[in-house]
Structure 1
Amino acid sequence: MSKAIAIIGGGLAATACAYSLKNDAGQHSVTPVIFEAGERLATGASGNIQGIYDPRFQKLRNGVGDYFFAAFKLAFQIFSGIQERTDIGFDPCGTLYLIKSEDERAYYQAMIENQRLSGDDVRIVSAQEASAVSRITLRHDALFLPHSGFVSPALLCAAQARDIDVRLSAPVRNLEQRGSGWRVNGEPFDSVIIACGFAARYFSGCEWLPLQNVRGQMIVCPANGNSANLACNINYGGHISKPVDGLHVIGSTFQQNDTDLSLRESDNERILARLKENLPSIAEGMKASRAAAALRTASKDRVAITGLVPRKGEWTTQKPVFYDNLYLSTAHGSYGIISSLASARMISDQILGHAPHFSEETRKAVAPDRFLYRLERKGRI
């Protein structure tokens, strides 16, 4: 008998869950159904012009670091496979992180050692080697991620939702538990995954989640004579992408609890000023031909929220209590292109009864009830 899985949302988190359930099912029969309130998939930040994918750096080896580096490797594997079948704008061109201080160098070196990362994953390169990799002259040594690159988030969402039952203009107005299952707008499902960003808080039992909106504006600039040869992405506090069809994507701002999506010339100027400060040789004369702004959803600790929804009013550390078969995948922030995939794999393991792909420490690092543990330690629940 097929398991019916309702997935609320239509962005990276939701479509990644549908893709993972379908592709990891094996001998199981599952029917994912996506409920998207809007008229199309990939609204909001999931519809950004371009998405550079790389891990969030962690100096120490812990569950959070393991989560992001596992997500990074999984993303490269999945993007490579999808790109063979359909274009998602995938280009594993690599990314250089400029090292502008000895503190940064020490941090990256400690991260490489503590995380036991191989040179194939990440390594420190001299300014000379960074210049050779990027094909422009750079003044700084850099951290190089050879398998980093970019994809089109909108094309990725479409590819992940291929052959999935997608309900557009279908807001979920009623989510009701029935036994161990659920009814979504009156339709029965075995499990539900809430993967709709900040809107997760609108569902009963999720109001307490420590979510916030983060506004980001990015710009598109025509390549100039100095930047046209750029062969990889460069991060310098901001970032500039390798040009595609003669255009760079440059970004971005990070504005917490700001939900105004009107475009700001002051943001464009700030983005270009940061580029000029760090890469003056390619910034000369560069102007924005267009801009885009979107909201990302982040958690209080800047880590995704993934797993079963706890019953906050009944939950204790001695006896954690959860809603049956109700899952979250939200708060992916700036790393949603990769973290949405890791969270989807984690949830599909639980729904399908597979052996976990992630350690217990990693699963706890992203579990929704981590915030309840912290509140209880402070005597606030």
Structure 2
Amino acid sequence: HAQPASEASGNPQGVLYLKLSAHGTALSRLIISGFGYTRRLLEQLQRGRDWDACGVLQLAFDDKEDQRQAKLAEAFDPTLLQRLNRADAETVAGIGLASGGLFYPEGGWVHPPALCAWQAKHPNIRLLMHHQVLELRKADGQWQAWEGERLLASAPLAVLACAAEIHRFDGCSELPLKRIRGQITRLPATGQSSTLSTVVCAEGYVAPPRLGEHTLGASFDFTATDLTPTAAEHQGNLALLQEISADLAMRLGADQLAPEALEGRAAFRCTSPDYLPIVGPLADQKAFTQAYALLAKDARQQPSTPCPWLEGLYINSGHGSRGLITAPLSGELVAAWADGAPLPLPRAVAEACHPNRFMLRELVRGKRKQGEASQ
């Protein structure tokens, strides 16, 4: 590409949305830490154009969601989230709503390209545009990035941060990453729709206007491989808007909009089976399986064999739709693993995101499958 943030990070507005659990899961703890880290980064950008801490309102759109939100309100500090009744939610949002919900006052939206561009301005970063790394080789202690017959760069440490494209490189093909197509719709703001003063989410989301446009989305398609925006998904996004707020849909004249004439963009999210990102150093899978074969017989064993690392190779991927919150802090986590420095997250959370977790699970499950077969 000609510039950074040209794939999923190229959307005009991404949401700082905290999907939490009341049970203190590793994902919840990662999200809380990552949210604070990203919010501090955003203070470097221009508010109103590059980001806005306008808050995020998650609607209690059915009984199950309402019960989940009640538990969250009990588990977290009210400075992070607040449970609002319908009248208060409408006051905060500036539009009519069908229900109340959880309000995250420090949440909001971000223009991801602005955040990426700011980060890439670091004096130690050199961007190589219009190149594609087709092969990663190890020679004389250096990782080498090759584009055909051209050596693009070399270093003792390499970080693969290219979403599901990681599968193209040796040593990474077995990582269980999945691409999920998502399409957003750009809606011109109207005088009446501009009263929307916070991001509102249900099954989809709609953001306050940025440069005269609302961002509405996003679809989930687990099978499509084409990234051409479709009228059908614009129509689906308009249906999401109707569920979020019939009032806002009316203010935007949604029933008069022709889906085939709407503008938007589609991109791939990249997610893992347990919804945690994959962050950290990578081991040689074959050597790992051989070194820790005893775990297939007894998962309670404590092997003393050193891990067969692919020395100097690290991964930062699988952030799904939470990348604005989890990816920046995960960069710090990679740096800490590489330097042997104190981790920026509780060790249990960092290990829950470790690439080796999948190889370890396969060994343990292999033992379980053998036991089931013998019975």
The verdict on a shared fold, with TM-score over 0.5 as the criterion, is yes
Could you tell me which residue of structure 1 aligns to residue 202 of structure 2? 236
Residue 6 (structure 1) aligns with = none
Superposed, 1:1-12 pairs within 5 Å as none
Once the two structures are overlaid, the 10-residue window that deviates more, 178-187 or 274-283, is 178-187
SS in structure 2 opposite 1:292? strand
Secondary structure at the residue paired with 1:81?
Answer: coil
1:250 deviates by 0.5
Whole-Å Cα distance in 2 between the matches of residues 112 and 309 of structure 1?
38
Q: Which has the higher contact order (CA 8 A, sep 6+)?
A: 1
**Aligned pairs for 1:340-379 within 5 A:** 340-379=327-366
- Corresponding residue for residue 99 of structure 1: 60
Cα deviation, 1:259-315, whole Å, max 9, x if unaligned, reads 111221111111112211331111122236412111121122222110011211121
Q: Gapped runs of 5+ residues in structure 1?
A: 1-37
Number of residue equivalences: 340
Task: Find the aligned partners of 2:81 and 2:356 in 1 and give their Cα distance.
Answer: 32
RMSD of aligned residue pairs (Cα, Å): 2.1
**Candidates 144, 165, 175, aligned match of 2:103:** 144
Q: 1:365 to 1:56 in 2, by over 3 A?
A: farther
Q: Is the 8 A contact 1:63 1:364 kept in 2?
A: no
Q: Quick one: which amino acid aligns to residue 3 of structure 2? A: R
Residue 172 of structure 1: aligned partner: 133
Measure, in 2, the Cα distance between the counterparts of 1:280 and 1:112: 26
Contact 1:218 1:291 (8 Å CA) reproduced: yes
What are the equivalent positions in structure 2 for 1:1-381 lying under 5 Å apart?
Answer: 38-83=1-46, 89-114=50-75, 117-162=76-121, 163=123, 164-178=125-139, 181-185=142-146, 186=151, 187-284=153-250, 285-286=253-254, 287=257, 289-315=262-288, 316=292, 318=303, 319=305, 320-379=307-366
- Give CA-to-partner distance per residue, 1:10-67, whole Å, 9 cap, x none: xxxxxxxxxxxxxxxxxxxxxxxxxxxx332112111112211222322311212101
Instruction: Report the 3-state secondary structure (helix = DSSP H, G, I; strand = E; otherwise coil) of the residue aligned with 2:287.
Output: coil
**Secondary structure of the equivalent of 1:143?**
strand
**1:112 Cα offset (Å):** 4.2
Distance 2:309 2:21 in 1: 30
Structure (1 or 2) with the larger CA radius of gyration: 2
State, as a whole percentage, how many aligned pairs show the same letter.
Answer: 26
Partner secondary structure for residue 256 of structure 1: coil
**What do the CA deviations read for 1:66-104 (whole angstroms, capped 9, x no partner)?**
0111111111111113448xx861111101001123322
Aligned to 2:298: none
Q: How far apart, in 2, do the equivalents of 1:122 and 1:321 lie?
A: 43
Question: CA 1:83 to 1:325, structure 2 compared with 1: closer, same or farther past 3 Å?
Answer: farther
Q: In the aligned structure 2, how far is the partner of 1:204 from the partner of 1:172?
A: 13
Decide whether the 8 Å contact of 2:135 with 2:169 is kept in 1. Answer: no
- Classify the secondary structure of the residue corresponding to 1:306: strand
Q: Secondary structure at the match of 1:221?
A: strand
Pick which of 72-81 and 201-210 moved more.
72-81
| 3-state DSSP of counterpart to 1:313 | helix
Contact 2:96 2:245 in 1 (8 A): no
Task: Report the AA paired with residue 159 of structure 1.
Answer: W
Residue segments in structure 2 that go unaligned for 5+ positions in a row: 296-302, 370-375
| Residue aligning to 1:4 | none
